[in-house]
Structure 1
Amino acid sequence: MTEQYLDSHKEEILRKGFTVINTVFSEDEIEKIAETIQKADTSAENFRKSEDLFAVRQFLKEVPEVKDLVMNDTIKFMIRTLFGERYFVVKSIYFDKPETSNWYVAYHQDLTISVDKKLEMQGFGPWTTKKNQFAVQPPLPVLENIFTIRIHLDDTDENNGALKVVPGSHAKGIYRPEAIDWDVETEEICKVERGGIMIMKPLTLHGSSRTTDGRRRRVIHIEFSDMELPEELQWSERMN
Structure 2
Amino acid sequence: MIIVSTRRVLTPIKYTAFALQHRVVDYAVIALRFKTGLAFFCRRMDELKEMLPGPRSLIEKLQQDGFALVRGLVNLHEVNNLSQAIAPQATASRSAGVRGLAGKVPAVGLLAQTHNIRQPVDMILDPSARLVRSILFRKDAQVNWHVNWHQDVTIAVDGTTEDPQYSAWSTKERVTHVQPPLSVLQRMLTVRIHLDVTDEDNGALCVIPGSHRMGRIAASEVATVAKNAEQTICRAQPGDALLFHPLLVHASHKASSDRPRRIIHLEYCDAPLAQGLSWVDTA
| TM-score calculated relative to the size of structure 1 | 0.88
Q: Is the 2:90–2:98 contact (alpha carbons within 8 Å) kept by the matching residues of 1?
A: no
For 1:11 and 1:200, locate their aligned partners in 2 and report how far apart those are by CA, in whole Å. Answer: 12
For 1:206 and 1:121, locate their aligned partners in 2 and report how far apart those are by CA, in whole Å. Answer: 29
- Specify whether residues 174 and 41 from structure 1 end up closer, same or farther in structure 2 by C-alpha distance, changes over 3 A only: closer
Instruction: Report the equivalent of 1:104.
Output: 146
- Specify whether residues 35 and 238 from structure 1 end up closer, same or farther in structure 2 by C-alpha distance, changes over 3 A only: closer
Tell me by how many angstroms 1:165 deviates.
0.7
Q: Does 1:38 align with 2:38?
A: no
SS in 1 for 2:78: helix
Q: Structure 1: which amino acid aligns with 2:241?
A: I
Q: Structure 1: which amino acid aligns with 2:253?
A: S
The Cα RMSD (Å) is 2.2
Q: Is the 1:152–1:194 contact (alpha carbons within 8 Å) kept by the matching residues of 2?
A: yes
> Which runs of 5 or more residues in structure 1 are unaligned?
none
Higher relative contact order by CA 8 Å / sep ≥ 6: 1 or 2?
1
SS in 1 for 2:216: coil
For 2:116 and 2:149, locate their aligned partners in 1 and report how far apart those are by CA, in whole Å. Answer: 31
Correspondence list, 1:80-229, <5 A:
80-99=122-141, 101-176=143-218, 178-179=220-221, 180-181=224-225, 184-229=228-273
| Dislocated runs of 4+, deviation >6 Å | none
SS in 2 for 1:204: coil
| TM-score calculated relative to the size of structure 2 | 0.75
For 1:230 and 1:182, locate their aligned partners in 2 and report how far apart those are by CA, in whole Å. Answer: 32
SS in 1 for 2:59: helix
Q: Structure 1: which amino acid aligns with 2:190?
A: T
- Specify whether residues 76 and 221 from structure 1 end up closer, same or farther in structure 2 by C-alpha distance, changes over 3 A only: same
SS in 2 for 1:174: coil
Deviations, residues 88-142 of structure 1 (Å, cap 9, x unaligned): 1111111121135431110000110100023332211010013320000011111
Correspondence list, 1:55-74, <5 A:
55-74=97-116
- Specify whether residues 101 and 36 from structure 1 end up closer, same or farther in structure 2 by C-alpha distance, changes over 3 A only: closer
> Which runs of 5 or more residues in structure 2 are unaligned?
1-47
| Larger gyration radius, structure 1 or structure 2 | 2
For 1:181 and 1:219, locate their aligned partners in 2 and report how far apart those are by CA, in whole Å. Answer: 26
For 2:79 and 2:180, locate their aligned partners in 1 and report how far apart those are by CA, in whole Å. Answer: 34
Q: Is the 1:88–1:238 contact (alpha carbons within 8 Å) kept by the matching residues of 2?
A: no
SS in 2 for 1:29: helix
For 1:182 and 1:124, locate their aligned partners in 2 and report how far apart those are by CA, in whole Å. Answer: 26
SS in 1 for 2:200: coil
Identity %: 33
For 1:110 and 1:30, locate their aligned partners in 2 and report how far apart those are by CA, in whole Å. Answer: 26
SS in 2 for 1:8: helix
Q: Is the 1:115–1:236 contact (alpha carbons within 8 Å) kept by the matching residues of 2?
A: yes
- Specify whether residues 123 and 23 from structure 1 end up closer, same or farther in structure 2 by C-alpha distance, changes over 3 A only: same
Q: Is the 1:160–1:216 contact (alpha carbons within 8 Å) kept by the matching residues of 2?
A: yes
Q: Structure 1: which amino acid aligns with 2:74?
A: F
